[in-house]
Structure 1
Amino acid sequence: MQKKNIKKTYKFAFRTSLYVTIFATLLVSVFLYYYHTFNWQIVFFPIICFPLCFAIIQYRVEHFIYRRVKKIYDDLTLLESTSLRRQPITTDMGTLTKEIDKYARDKKIEIETLKVREEYRKEFIGNVSHELKTPLFTVQGYIDTLLDGAIEDEKIRKKYLQRASKGVERLTYIIKDLDMITKLEVGDLSLNKETFDIVKLVQNVFELFEMKAAKKRITLTFDMEYAQPIMVYADIERIQQVLTNLVVNSIKYGREKGTTEVSIENLIKNKAIIRVTDNGEGIKKENVPRLFERFYRVDKSGSRKEGGSGLGLSIVKHIIEAHDEKMYVESELGVGSEFSFTLEKVE
């Protein structure tokens, strides 16, 4: 390794000295020949010239170019201060070029990432503003109307107060969900893991939303009869929240007389995968990667009419990731969607 380093270090000085010596020897030889003083002693000239040239060039390269190369390294912060020792690295310009190219590529990626984040930040702030503004203005409108005299009419007063209450309730949902997703992202939300029957939990969720499903004549069902309990180890409250969100979404975007089906399968020895499948609207392929973004909505107008904070799927993904598990989604427009997640299975 040392031999290779020495070779790289002195290659420039060696070649330059050789070229200078050859050129100078030829020049001196021509000069002496022209003045008829050429003799055999000319052989001593390259022997003396070459080492002198080599020493001078190497010294100048190390002290002149080295400082500039080091400054470039320092300015670009490509290397740690300990990695650039005082040694003759000046001839290895290929390494410097590669480092600069790498720096440029890394910076380009960093700039592109910052641009994407800036776009996401702007979109997120816009979405938060819109989500909070809509119910807030609704509440303000009803209260102002009541203050302007409508409060005297008992029927209008009751109706407007109920509508204002719904607006406040929606604001509460958004703030609670924002608080939860923030805690999930920074790891402040602790999980209370326990062993429970995932089949029974799914049945409980079905019972909670069977009336909501019945309004659209959507059937909530398992893919098969699960006679035996399937025990998993997770936070039962959070997993219920995950199932609730997925089932509610399947109802919300499901078609009339459709089906929401839940299946529980063995993935590997100690893992189960829970699938929530519907035959509803489906999702365009280009929208699928953004489904778990905060406030992202595929159908911006329709989904707002259905209510919710717009944070449900984002919370679902964070809850599953907090369990060190995986979340998957498959969807085809006009055919339906399947959301699935893994859980640790207990024998």
Structure 2
Amino acid sequence: MAVSFKKTYKFAVKSALYITLFSTGLVVFLMFFFLDFSLPFTICFAISIGMFSFFVLQYRVEHFIYRRVKKIYDDVSLLESSTFRNQPITTDMATLTREVQKFATDKKLEIEMLKVREEYRREFLGNVSHELKTPLFTVQGYLSTLLDGAMNDKSIRKKYLERAEKGVERLIYIVQDLDMITKLEVGDLNLEITKFDIIKLVQNVFDLLEMEASKKDILLLFDMKYNKPIMVVGDREKIEQVITNLVMNSVKYGKENGSTEVSIESLTENKIIVRITDNGEGIEKPHISRLFERFYRVDKSGSRDAGGSGLGLSIVKHIIEAHDERIYVESQFGIGSEFSFTLEKAK
């Protein structure tokens, strides 16, 4: 049966074999001419010199390659030196090449991820600055006008103070939303889990947003008549905020004389799915994956005419994930959008 050596030892085995053959041949030659030939002595000598050569070569080559490869890794910062301390050293260049490629690929992906995060950080800070700057400058402008003499006119004073108040309210709204997202991300926002009727909750949202929808002649409706309550488990207040944000977005970006429809379906034995569907503008595919980012807006013009803090969908996503549930979005540009999320059924 052929002996199968590890590939990492092939170099040392072959080199030791060459040295053994040469050394043994030399000894046999010297013994033949100068001493009496002894087969046992020759065999012992061959075995000894072979083993000695193998271990010396293996040890020396491993450390030779290790020191130089490690230095290269340290110099180019591709690998962490601790990686080698925890793994046996190999003289197999194919293995080393695979390890280099693997770690280089991992580092490349890590660098690309860091670049993406840095770009997101810059974009996020720019968006925060823009969102805060607009109401701040508005408030400052109205107050400066009043201080410059317009305060003496009662009608102007009241109008400007009311507008300044709206700017302050917008600032408070943005800060509160940011605070909520931060708490959701770090897990500091406690959920008050109770049983409630999701049908009744949706109807409450409809009642709240009915006047807003009527401004654009948008009809708020259920997809069918629900004759009995559908009880679910969750934080009632937070789920109401989720539905409010989704329906409000549907109204904001919906077409006049359009509709926003809510449907509630049984998804599995323990889950329901709530769908909010509209026939509005729809969302182009490249934007869908970024919809739930903070301050991300499909409209890159910088317009804030639609109002809001730009944090609504991000808050929605965090609230749903805090319930260990999932949220989905499907949209066709020019046709409409559907946002849906799951909830646990009450037992």
Tell me the TM-score normalized by structure 1.
0.87
5+ residue gaps, structure 2, are none
Superposed, 1:254-269 pairs within 5 Å as 254-269=254-269
Alignment partners' CA distance in 1, 2:87 and 2:237: 55
Q: 2:83 aligns with which of 60, 79, 88?
A: 79
Paired residues of 1:197 and 1:229 also in contact (CA < 8 A): yes
Alignment of 1:112 with 2:116, yes or no, is no
Paired residues of 2:9 and 2:58 also in contact (CA < 8 A): no
Which one-letter code corresponds to 1:148 in the other structure?
Answer: D
Paired residues of 2:90 and 2:96 also in contact (CA < 8 A): no
Alignment partners' CA distance in 2, 1:124 and 1:248: 23
The match for 1:184 is: 184
Q: CA deviation at 1:95?
A: 3.3
Alignment of 1:56 with 2:60, yes or no, is no
The match for 1:312 is: 312
The 1:145/1:42 distance shift into structure 2, 3 A limit, reads farther
Alignment partners' CA distance in 2, 1:119 and 1:7: 47
Paired residues of 2:265 and 2:273 also in contact (CA < 8 A): yes
Paired residues of 1:274 and 1:340 also in contact (CA < 8 A): yes
Q: Deviations over 1:181-240 (max 9, x none)?
A: 000000000100100000000000000011111110000000000011000000000000
Structure 1 stretch 12-21 or stretch 230-239: which is displaced more? 12-21
The match for 1:290 is: 290
Q: CA deviation at 1:92?
A: 3.9
Superposed, 1:130-141 pairs within 5 Å as 130-141=130-141
Which one-letter code corresponds to 2:83 in the other structure?
Answer: L
5+ residue gaps, structure 1, are none
The match for 2:343 is: 343
Alignment partners' CA distance in 1, 2:178 and 2:285: 27
Q: Deviations over 1:151-189 (max 9, x none)?
A: 111111111111111111110110000000000000000
Q: CA deviation at 1:246?
A: 0.4
Q: CA deviation at 1:339?
A: 0.3
Q: Specify the SS of the correspondent of 1:290.
A: coil
Q: Deviations over 1:280-323 (max 9, x none)?
A: 00000000000000000112448611211000000000000000
In the alignment of these two chains, the number of paired residues is 336
The 1:169/1:300 distance shift into structure 2, 3 A limit, reads farther
Alignment partners' CA distance in 2, 1:58 and 1:271: 65
Which one-letter code corresponds to 2:238 in the other structure?
Answer: R
The match for 1:126 is: 126
Paired residues of 1:78 and 1:99 also in contact (CA < 8 A): no
Alignment partners' CA distance in 2, 1:285 and 1:126: 24
The 1:93/1:245 distance shift into structure 2, 3 A limit, reads same
Q: CA deviation at 1:68?
A: 4.9
The match for 1:15 is: 14
Q: Percent identity?
A: 63
Q: CA deviation at 1:25?
A: 7.7
Q: How large is the Cα RMSD of the aligned pairs?
A: 3.1
Q: Specify the SS of the correspondent of 1:160.
A: helix
Q: Deviations over 1:22-71 (max 9, x none)?
A: 56788999x99xxxx89x96998898467425513521431453365278
